[in-house]
Amino acid sequence: MLSITSLLRISAISLLAAGSTMSHAADPYPATPGTTQSALSDSAITARVKEALASGKLIGISVATVKGIVALSGTVTSEDIRRKAGEIAGSVQGVQGVDTSALNVSAR
């Protein structure tokens, strides 16, 4: 369950994302004919992001989605991996924004 701080952070990001245009890498999940990005539920987006992260060999990262804004959390071993996780999550169909502020970098 998300903490109040996390929910507030996600809400603030969604407001920012609504007013900006975001570029994303090529979507590995092409849209199904007759559907739109807004038709995807948060749970479907979360599942797709988890699958995309696993395909990129990025495991152990928690994913939560609220109104299309994906929050990644956990610990990774480098800033490069943190950046890659954000890029992968942002490339998934239906994602309106990505928050990696709770994805901590810790050298092991």
Domains in the chain with CATH codes: 1-13+42-108 (3.30.1340.30)
Q: What is the pLDDT of residue 40?
A: 75
Q: What is the pLDDT of residue 17?
A: 47
Strands (DSSP E) found in 39-90? 62-66, 69-76
Strands (DSSP E) found in the chain? 62-66, 69-76, 97-105
Predicted confidence band of residue 107 (pLDDT cuts 50, 70, 90)? confident
Q: What is the pLDDT of residue 93?
A: 94
pTM beyond 0.85: no
Q: Which residue do the tokens 């071993």 mark?
A: 77
* Mean pLDDT within 40-48: 93
Q: Closest by alpha carbon to 89, among 22, 6, 5? A: 22
Position 8 pLDDT exceeds 80: no
Position 56 pLDDT exceeds 80: yes
Q: Say how many Å lie between the first and final Cα of the chain, rounded.
A: 27
Say which amino acid occupies 72: L
